[in-house]
Amino acid sequence: MKFGWKRLLAVGTALVLSLSLSAPALAAGETAGIAVQLDGSNVTFIDAVPEVKDQRTFLPFRAVFEAMGATVDWHDTTVTAVRGDTTITMQLGSTAVTVQEGTSTRTVSMDVAPYVKNNRTYVPIRFAAEAFGCNVGWDQAAQTVLILDPEGLIGDATFEIMNAAIAGQEKPQGNQALDGDFRISMNMGADGTYDMTGEVSGVASQTAMDLAMSMDLSALAQEMTAEDLGVTEAQADAVRDYMEDILKDASFAMRMDLDQGSCYFNVPILAEFLAEQGVTENTWYSLDLSGLGLTGLTAAQTVTMEDLLDQMLTGTLDNAAVAQSLASTVRMYACLFQDAAFTRSGDTYTAVYEGAQMGMAMETKTVIRMDGDKLRDISMDMTMSAAGTAVTYDITASTTKVDMTMTMSEPTTGMEMKMDFAMSVSATTKAPETGLPAGAQEVSLEALMAQAMSADL
């Protein structure tokens, strides 16, 4: 076998591992029944455990809020939690919560009230944690309460340097034309070297994008054996020629509108293989982005690093692995881009990091070049490795151009890959198309994935 489907699968798996080694398993020590995950780690309960009452999840007051770094107190029928300049006050049997932030005080109404059981105070966790600015969710499959606490994840990190770079970008006044190309070289050792090329074009605004990509993957076809193709030797040459013709134009299109929370993408080549499932060249897959809460962020005139990190933790939270990944990612960004990470030489700021993040060994070098209060460009070199797989990125971006080189090595298959990508950005009067094309067949990606998971079960 030269370049078989199993090897293609191995390559794909290596890519997934290298680009998303960020979803560790749930932490050990889960509570029997309902578990609580705070910022990616499970909260330990010693003498009182979470429980459901009146269709709401109640947690032992002291254990959860002390885990969040708050000081808790109980007096008569009043329970309080204090963290920084925020004080939360609840009364047993009352559905009112008082939240004092500095000199400002507000009252939040709950639909259930705190209570005492076995000398332990239980509070409705969603209302209590949200009062501290947390995002609270529920993973039904894992029976786990999910809490993401921006203040706890970011800690004392400040981002004045990154904020100055963001503010110093030349803000596009209208729509921007995108024009780029890329080359991917794959070295499979004894199985040969394969080059793939492609082009990217499109239009983007502050909140929308219309992108088209074409790829030439035909070099793979002639390396496929009869076994790979599932045909006899007598049929192989004809099938290889057929596959080469198909793979010569492996195109992809995407239309996205953050204000509307919509994303559509089209992969015409799938029609060649999934026609029996009703897939055509005009099948577009839809993805609902409305739960990500991006509208306010994209509408903001000035975005800060704090805004970006906080926004990552906003939206629907219903999967424990995703919550862990988000917590790990925010911690990593706070570590890499905080002011304490940078040193200054004139108008150039450099941050170097070597350590471990999200279960990976990581080395990074970030350089921000300013012209006074204007951003000239920003570059980042990053190497990540885990389980022998190593990925290196070298990215430089300005307001008019993006250059990126990515290399990857995967020891299990002996595969090495290099991708070079360059894209220019320029003003255009054309607006991005964000809706479905006329006559398109829409298929919900979420429904498709749910169906696939159900079939697997």
User: Among the three residues 81, 108, 141, which one is the final residue of a domain in this structure?
Assistant: 141
The tokens for 241 are 């020629």
**What is the mean pLDDT of the segment spanning 145-150?**
93
Task: Identify the pLDDT of residue 449.
Answer: 65
Q: Is the pLDDT of residue 368 over 90?
A: yes
Lowest-pLDDT range of 109-118, 226-235, 368-377: 226-235
For residue 137, being part of any structural domain is answered with yes
> Given the DSSP bridges, would you call strands 262-266 and 252-257 parallel, antiparallel or unpaired?
antiparallel
One domain, residues 129 and 169 = no
Give kind and range of the element (H or E) at residue 330. helix 320-337
One domain, residues 353 and 281 = yes
Task: Identify the pLDDT of residue 195.
Answer: 84
For residue 5, being part of any structural domain is answered with no
Lowest-pLDDT range of 14-18, 161-165, 240-244, 382-386: 14-18
Task: Identify the pLDDT of residue 49.
Answer: 87
User: CA separation (Å) from 402 to 89, 143, 152, 294?
Assistant: 50, 43, 34, 24
Task: Identify the pLDDT of residue 384.
Answer: 93
Q: Is the pLDDT of residue 78 over 80?
A: yes
Q: Is the dihedral of CA 266, 269, 273, 279 positive or negative?
A: positive
Domain of 281, in residue numbers:
161-456
Q: What percent of the chain has pLDDT over 90?
A: 44
One domain, residues 123 and 226 = no
| AA identity, residue 234 | A
Residue with more model confidence, 442 or 1 = 442
Average pLDDT of the chain, as a whole number: 83
Q: Is the pLDDT of residue 343 over 50?
A: yes
The tokens for 168 are 């110093």
Task: Output the CA torsion 99→100→105→111 (10° steps).
Answer: 10
Task: Identify the pLDDT of residue 272.
Answer: 80
| pLDDT confidence bin for 354, thresholds 50/70/90 | very high
* Apex 421 CA angle, 412 and 240, nearest 5: 60
Task: Identify the pLDDT of residue 402.
Answer: 93
Residue with more model confidence, 174 or 22 = 174
One domain, residues 273 and 223 = yes
Task: Identify the pLDDT of residue 20.
Answer: 38
Q: How many residues does the chain have?
A: 457
One domain, residues 195 and 238 = yes
**What is the mean pLDDT of the segment spanning 364-368?**
96
> Of 262, 379, 319, whose CA–CA distance to 142 is shortest?
319
- In the numeric block, the tokens 């933790």 are attached to 313
Distance CA 170, CA 399 (A): 7
Q: Is the pLDDT of residue 28 over 50?
A: no
- Answer whether 213's CB lies under 8 Å from 253's CB: yes
User: Among the three residues 141, 171, 197, which one is the final residue of a domain in this structure?
Assistant: 141
Residue 202: how many other CB atoms lie within 10 Å: 21
What's the CATH number where 120 sits? 3.30.457.10
| Count of structural domains within the chain | 2
For residue 185, being part of any structural domain is answered with yes
Task: Identify the pLDDT of residue 21.
Answer: 36
One domain, residues 315 and 245 = yes
One domain, residues 117 and 174 = no
One domain, residues 369 and 403 = yes
One domain, residues 395 and 437 = yes
pLDDT tens digits along 151-206: 999 989 999 999 999 888 876 678 999 999 999 898 877 667 778 889 999 999 88
Question: 365: which residues sit within 8 A by CB, 6+ positions away?
Answer: 350, 351, 352, 353, 380, 381, 382
| pLDDT confidence bin for 9, thresholds 50/70/90 | very low
Cα 316 versus chain centre, distance: 13
Residue 156: how many other CB atoms lie within 10 Å: 8
For residue 1, being part of any structural domain is answered with no
One domain, residues 322 and 238 = yes
Q: What percent of the chain has pLDDT over 70?
A: 87
Go through 94-131 and write b for each residue having 16 or more CB atoms within 10 A of its CB, e for each that does not: eeebbbeeeeeeeeeebebbbeeeeebbbbbbbbbbeb
- Answer whether 415's CB lies under 8 Å from 3's CB: no
- In the numeric block, the tokens 């309960």 are attached to 45
Task: Identify the pLDDT of residue 292.
Answer: 55
**What is the mean pLDDT of the segment spanning 333-361?**
93
| pLDDT confidence bin for 361, thresholds 50/70/90 | very high
Q: Is the pLDDT of residue 264 over 90?
A: yes
For residue 28, being part of any structural domain is answered with no
pLDDT tens digits along 39-64: 999 988 888 889 888 888 898 888 88
Residue with more model confidence, 292 or 22 = 292
